Amino acid sequence: MFSWYVFHTKKGWAAFLGKSNLVRAAVLPVDVPLPDFMHRLKDHNIVLIDNDNHSISLVNKIRGYYEGEIITDWEVGLDLPRSSDYARKVLYYVHTIPYGQTQTYSTVARNTSRPKAARAVGRIMGNNPIPLIIPCHRVIAKNGWGGFTAPGGVYTKKSMILWEQHHLSRPN
């Protein structure tokens, strides 16, 4: 059975819908009171993860991401039951875009065998059920940032990309 795992990060409350080693949905961190955050989660059991609970690998990785860790493998499976075949292909492809790198919507379309489907890629990114783990923020327009449907919009997208590039460039 899928459950919402709710936890706090440096950027606010976040959650993912998962079971075992499988993720179906995620909510990027939002700096709101917990009761306000919980209203976003529907239709599944909710598990609240304490700040000192480090037993769930994906929670640790998401918290680590927002603390500046470079995450190269989320080590989870993706469950995309409501996605079309092409959307799944795009989402799995975007899942492989490396930390700190970006690709344009048209590049993603070309690399998923539909070179004229840049707008479709944009729609798929806008409906991405698992942001961060499927890093839709790394897909940009050829002449700018493109859109972003998460709270904060394009500002959040730009901040995430610059955050990653900053952490890649710092000395070890």
Residue numbers annotated as active site: 136
CATH topology of domain 82-169: Arc Repressor Mutant, subunit A (1.10.10)
Phi, psi at 64, each rounded to 5°? -60, -40
Overall average pLDDT of the 148-171 stretch = 90
C-alpha to C-alpha distance for 113 and 107, rounded to whole angstroms: 10
Q: Which of 5-19, 83-97, 143-157 has the lowest mean pLDDT?
A: 143-157
Is pLDDT above 70 for 172?
A: no
**Looking at residue 44, what is its pLDDT?**
83
Sorted by where each begins, the domain ranges of the chain are 3-65, 82-169
**Looking at residue 149, what is its pLDDT?**
85
**139: nearest Cα among 115, 121, 120:** 121
128: which 2 tokens?
């991405």
Q: Can you give the pTM of this predicted structure?
A: 0.93
**Looking at residue 101, what is its pLDDT?**
97
- Which residues does residue 77 pair with via DSSP β-bridges, in sequence order? 22
pLDDT in tens, 124-143: 999 999 999 999 999 999 99
Is pLDDT above 80 for 95?
A: yes
- Backbone CA torsion sign across 22, 25, 31, 37: negative
pLDDT in tens, 5-45: 999 999 999 999 999 899 999 999 999 999 999 988 877 89
Burial 5-29 (b: 16+ CB within 10 A, else e): bbbbbebbbbbbbbeeeebbbbbbb
